[in-house]
Every structure is written in C-alpha cells, then in structure tokens.
Amino acid sequence: MLYQYINETQQPERPWAVEPEKANGELSLEILKRRRLEAKLTKMNRALAARSKVQKAMFHAGAESELIAEVCRIMVETGGYIVAWVCFNGEDQERTKLPVVQYGREEGRLNLARIHWENTGLGRGPAGTAMRTGKPVLVQDIRNDSNFTPWRDRAIDHGCASCVALPLLADHKVFGSLSLCSGEAFSFDAEEVELLEELSGDLAFGIVSLRNNDKRRSAEQALSERVEELKVLNQLGREATARGS
C-alpha cells in the first residue's frame, strides 16, 4: 500500500513530457520568431542588393538626373519599397524643398503638395526634418504620426505605412534627402537604417561627383572658347599690323 502511494504521488519527472497547451504555445512562438527573422533577413538582403546596384549605377550614370532616376527605380524594384523620391533644398526664403525624381505607386503625385524644410507645419515631415537636422528621420506608423498629417491620406491610399528620410550631405552640409516608404508599419529597424544611411552617402557622393564633372567641363569649355577668342584677336591684330606696314 505504501508503494502504491509513493508511485501515485511521486512519479519521476519526465522532461520530455510537456503539457499540450504549453507545447503549442512554445511552438507558435518559435515559428513567429523564425518568420520574423526570415523577414528581416529578406529585407536586409534586398537593401544590400539595392546598395550594390546603386554603386554600379554611379559608375555608369552620365548625368545627375539619370543617376537619381536610376536610384529611385532600384529602391522600389530591388529594395522592395513602395515609393522612393529625392528632394533638394530650395534656395527661396520659404525654404521649400523640391521633389526632383520619384518612382513607385505614387509617381507623379508628390509635387501636388507644397513641402517645406523650415521648422513649422509642412516642414516637420520626415524629408524636411532630415534636411534641417542632417539626420535620418523615421515615421514608423504613418496613420498615427501627427507630423505626417498633411500627407497621410494620400500615402495610405498608395499603400504606405512607414517612412524613412535620409539626408544627402556634402562637406557636412545637407543639400537634399532620399525618402523611402514601406508597406508595413514599424518596418525599419536600426540595422536597415544604418545600411540605408550608407546607401544615401553613396548617392550623395555620386551626385557631387557628377556636379563637379559638370563644373569642370563647363570651365574647360569656357577656357577653350576664350582661347579661340584670343586666337581670333591675335590674328586680327597681325592682319591690322600687316595692312599698316
């Protein structure tokens, strides 16, 4: 009888025996973690592939507008973002920022809204803030971010749920921004933003290099034209001297 009591109340523990509910819960959690990791790896691989293509585009672009258009296309088609656009700082007193190129579902619509980069109203969106502060700006939930209110409805209509704006810098001065929208809220994590910062740095370097090339070609053209003018003047001078003698 004593043996029966011990056998019933002090069964040896079996570590492999887990309650069904607990086992199912742990399995579901593990599956969720794995799916999140796979999704993160997919995003990072897309971003890495996009950066690689951006770097290649820098070597083949013959003009600034060509490079920007190609980068925006890459960020949508390879990076998987809903829309990508580049803005440059306006020089007017209202500090407007001018959307130069955009690519994606919202293509051709961004310029319908007047956007600023001053620290008031329409200047407090992600792109304006990034250009004003020189730092990346995240809007992880477009639906509930008050600073995104002026563009919220249009962005949601086009499938945008989160956004990041990255400043374009040259000599530590901001001259524009690259903005990207994702179809998922809270989509951007620290690793992705860091990689996108490096990509925006590549783009800024490419733009500045093309601008410097344009300046050099313009200077060379001006010099060539001046040399030709001097040749003509010298020739006219020699002819006038010959006639006078």
Residue 127, domain member (yes or no) = yes
Residue 50, domain member (yes or no) = yes
Name the residue range of residue 206's domain.
35-213
Residue 15, domain member (yes or no) = no
Q: Is the dihedral of CA 47, 155, 137, 132 positive or negative?
A: positive
Residue 70, domain member (yes or no) = yes
Residue 96, domain member (yes or no) = yes
Question: What pLDDT digit, counting tens, does each position of 108-140 carry?
Answer: 455 445 567 776 667 778 888 998 899 999 999
Give me the number of domains the chain comprises.
Answer: 1
Residue 200, domain member (yes or no) = yes
CATH code of the domain containing 70: 3.30.450.40
Task: Give the residue-averaged pLDDT of 152-160.
Answer: 86
Q: Is the pLDDT of residue 100 over 60?
A: yes
pLDDT number for residue 214 = 57
Residue 30, domain member (yes or no) = no
Question: What pLDDT digit, counting tens, does each position of 66-97 carry?
Answer: 999 999 999 999 999 999 999 888 665 556 66
Residue 229, domain member (yes or no) = no
Residue, of 54 and 239, whose pLDDT is higher = 54
- Residue 3 pLDDT grade (very low, low, confident, very high; cuts 50, 70, 90): very low
Whether the full predicted model's pTM is greater than 0.95, yes or no, is no
pLDDT number for residue 239 = 64
Flag the least confident range among 22-36, 118-132, 185-199: 22-36
pLDDT number for residue 144 = 92
Task: Give the residue-averaged pLDDT of 197-222.
Answer: 81
